[in-house]
């Protein structure tokens, strides 16, 4: 059942390929995770259509990069304004296919639009440099040029923002982009494409190809005309796609999984730490790559923090986002429910104590899981080793800063880490000792379009957002000029 929209034409059951809306005989069904009901179908396109999109992108590249940054930026800013104008519809579409609470979906629309606005402005700040030469009769001039056609594969957890974080900088600096959104959330991506067209983005610069991942991904990672590949998703798929890119030595950006520690020290403001933990752990029903995954709590405050956190979590309203105000939605699919269920069982088997939640909320729907807090979880529990990606907060005790940092860094992931402490010197030490791309000190929310987002170790390559976010779409070129 389709969600009701103010502008019904933002609901597209066709893909957007090379400036054309395109159907196909074969389609893929998309469901509402809150109900399991099919809400619509998208075309099952493949390698041929992806190559067509790349052809069109290649053709559109020259004229687009020849425009001034101001002209390109104006299109991006119009696109952002249209997103905000239609924020209610975009949020409804997103909640219908992704499940997040409507207020969060609306928040994501604003967050997603902010990347288009930001990079629309940043386009004008792409700069080169002149280097003092190594010889008196040489001049060294460094410019930066758009890399060319970009291929992007994006996930379902932020169906709009994970696209604008890539399309914004790519288009701003002059690169066309061909996007394969998640099969689970294509309608947000297609609505976004409709608004790009309405904003006046010339044909071919942006394509959204729906279909099964593998054949589309093979073109985006294997076609030599695609100069740059950018991916957000799981670490396993990211590694596979990066390997596929090796054959043509593409520039590669990856935003992969995290395993964020959230450290509460004995001197922390516990109420603030609880607020931060709620924001970080339970946002998007625990399905973000920067979600606190392991709550490391000093043994002196473990019980008090656990009680306060559990009381707040127990009061969460769980339900379908389109039916009224909620705090927690469904998980994306049955696999996600199975994973969190296994993590709870493992934590309990290893001695953890459930303070609230702990099981499926079957009365609400098959993919709902009660928001859960488990105290006294040992460090070797599954929920500390793997990203849970669900509403489960497991608390691990520690007794010294050294121990907390060692536990925090004991993972191949390195995306986000959080710490709550009143000690200013410790705050500085943590920003240096935590092996993560982003460290939140006394805050559980770190994402903004003006700051660099990205990970170290196996959490990824490159940065999105901020002035650095454009770098991934620019090649550095040296001109060495003889001036006899
Ligand atoms: P998650 O586990 O969060 O769903 P995935 O990494 O499986 O994350 O999915 C992220 C994106 O990667 C989705 O758009 C998905 O369709 C895509 N994807 C998954 N497998 C492949 C593949 N073999 N080739 C190309 N894209 C893929």
Q: Which atom of ligand 1 is nearest to the CA of 182?
A: 14
Whether residue 211 is predicted with pLDDT greater than 90 in this model: the reply is yes
Residue with CA nearest ligand 1 atom 7:
234
pLDDT digits (tens, 9 = 90+) for 413-460: 999 999 999 999 999 999 999 999 999 999 999 999 999 999 999 999
Residue length of the chain = 484
Report how far ligand 1's centroid is from the alpha carbon of 383 (Å).
22
Residue with CA nearest ligand 1 atom 15:
182
pLDDT digits (tens, 9 = 90+) for 143-164: 999 999 999 999 999 999 999 9
Report how far ligand 1's centroid is from the alpha carbon of 122 (Å).
30
Residue with CA nearest ligand 1 atom 13:
182
Residue with CA nearest ligand 1 atom 22:
214
Of 46, 223, 237, which is best to mutate to test ligand 1, by the most ligand atoms within 8 angstroms of its C-beta?
237
Share of the chain above pLDDT 90, in %: 100
> How high is the pLDDT of residue 161?
98
Q: Check: CB of residue 287 under 8 Å from CB of residue 257.
A: no
Catalytic machinery residues = 255
Q: What integer is the mean pLDDT of 266-276? A: 98
Residue 207 CB partners (closer than 8 Å, separation 6+): 15, 16, 17, 18, 53, 56, 57, 177, 178, 179, 193
Confidence of residue 316 (pLDDT cuts 50, 70, 90): very high
Report how far ligand 1's centroid is from the alpha carbon of 422 (Å).
40
Whether residue 298 is predicted with pLDDT greater than 90 in this model: the reply is yes
Report how far ligand 1's centroid is from the alpha carbon of 3 (Å).
26
Ligand 1 neighbours (beta carbon < 6 A): 153-155, 180, 182-183, 213-214, 217, 233-234, 237, 240-241
> How high is the pLDDT of residue 321?
97
Q: What integer is the mean pLDDT of 178-187? A: 98
Report how far ligand 1's centroid is from the alpha carbon of 20 (Å).
25
Q: Which atom of ligand 1 is nearest to the CA of 212?
A: 16
**ipTM of the predicted assembly exceeds 0.95:** yes
Whole-number Å distance between alpha carbons of 389 and 415: 14
Phi first, then psi: give them for residue 177, nearest 5 degrees: -140, 135
Residue with CA nearest ligand 1 atom 23:
214
Q: Which atom of ligand 1 is nearest to the CA of 244?
A: 24
Of 44, 46, 97, 153, which is best to mutate to test ligand 1, by the most ligand atoms within 8 angstroms of its C-beta?
153
Whether residue 260 is predicted with pLDDT greater than 90 in this model: the reply is yes
Report how far ligand 1's centroid is from the alpha carbon of 231 (Å).
9
> How high is the pLDDT of residue 341?
98
Report how far ligand 1's centroid is from the alpha carbon of 316 (Å).
30
> How high is the pLDDT of residue 171?
98
Confidence of residue 1 (pLDDT cuts 50, 70, 90): confident
Whether residue 186 is predicted with pLDDT greater than 90 in this model: the reply is yes
- Calculate the alpha carbon distances from 268 to 263, 265, 296, 424 in Å: 10, 5, 12, 11
Of 156, 218, 221, 233, which is best to mutate to test ligand 1, by the most ligand atoms within 8 angstroms of its C-beta?
233
Q: Which atom of ligand 1 is nearest to the CA of 232?
A: 10
Q: Which atom of ligand 1 is nearest to the CA of 216?
A: 25
pLDDT digits (tens, 9 = 90+) for 11-37: 999 999 999 999 999 999 999 999 999
Report how far ligand 1's centroid is from the alpha carbon of 156 (Å).
9
Q: Chain-wide mean pLDDT for the chain?
A: 98
């Amino acid at each position: 059942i389709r969600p009701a929209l103010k502008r019904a034409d933002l609901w597209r059951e066709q893909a957007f390929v090379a400036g054309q809306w395109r159907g196909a005989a074969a389609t893929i069904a998309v469901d509402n995770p809150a109900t399991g009901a099919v809400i619509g179908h998208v075309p099952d396109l493949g390698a041929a259509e992806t190559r067509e999109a790349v052809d069109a992108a290649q053709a559109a590249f020259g004229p687009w990069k020849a425009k001034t940054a101001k002209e390109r930026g104006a299109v991006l800013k119009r696109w952002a304004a249209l997103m905000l104008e239609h924020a209610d519809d975009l949020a409804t579409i997103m909640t219908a296919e992704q499940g997040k609470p409507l207020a969060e979906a609306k928040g994501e629309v604003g967050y997603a639009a902010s990347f288009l606005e930001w990079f629309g402005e940043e386009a004008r700040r792409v700069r080169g440099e002149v280097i003092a030469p190594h010889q008196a009769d040489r001049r060294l001039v460094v410019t930066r040029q758009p890399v060319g056609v970009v291929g992007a594969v994006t996930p379902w957890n932020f169906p709009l923002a994970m696209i604008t974080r890539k399309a914004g900088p790519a288009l701003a600096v002059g690169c066309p982009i061909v996007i394969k959104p998640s099969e689970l959330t294509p309608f947000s991506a297609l609505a976004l494409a409709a608004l790009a067209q309405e904003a006046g983005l010339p044909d071919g610069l942006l394509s959204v190809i729906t279909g099964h991942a593998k054949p589309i991904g093979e073109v985006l990672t294997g076609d030599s005309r695609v100069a740059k590949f950018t991916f957000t998703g799981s670490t396993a798929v990211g590694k596979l796609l990066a390997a596929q890119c090796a054959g043509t030595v593409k520039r590669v950006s990856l935003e992969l999984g995290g395993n964020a520690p959230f450290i509460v020290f004995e001197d922390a403001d516990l109420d603030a730490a609880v607020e931060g933990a709620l924001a970080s752990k339970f946002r998007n029903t625990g399905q973000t790559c920067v979600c606190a995954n392991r709550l490391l709590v000093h043994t002196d405050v473990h019980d008090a923090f656990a009680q306060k956190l559990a009381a707040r979590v127990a009061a969460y309203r769980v339900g379908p986002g389109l039916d009224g105000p909620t705090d927690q939605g469904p998980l994306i699919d049955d696999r996600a429910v199975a994973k969190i269920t296994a993590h709870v069982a493992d934590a309990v088997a290893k001695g953890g104590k459930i303070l609230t939640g702990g099981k499926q909320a079957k009365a609400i729907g098959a993919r709902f899981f009660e928001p859960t807090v488990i105290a006294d979880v040992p460090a070797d529990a599954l929920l500390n080793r793997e990203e849970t990606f669900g509403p489960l907060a497991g608390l691990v005790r520690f007794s010294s800063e050294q121990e907390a940092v060692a536990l925090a860094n004991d993972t191949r992931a390195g995306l986000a880490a959080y710490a709550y402490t009143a000690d200013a010197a410790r705050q500085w030490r943590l920003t240096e000792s935590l092996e993560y791309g982003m460290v939140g000190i006394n805050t559980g929310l770190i994402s903004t379009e003006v700051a660099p987002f990205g990970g170290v170790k196996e959490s990824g390559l490159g940065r999105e957002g901020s002035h650095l976010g454009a770098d991934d779409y620019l090649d550095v070129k040296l001109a060495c000029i003889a001036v006899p």
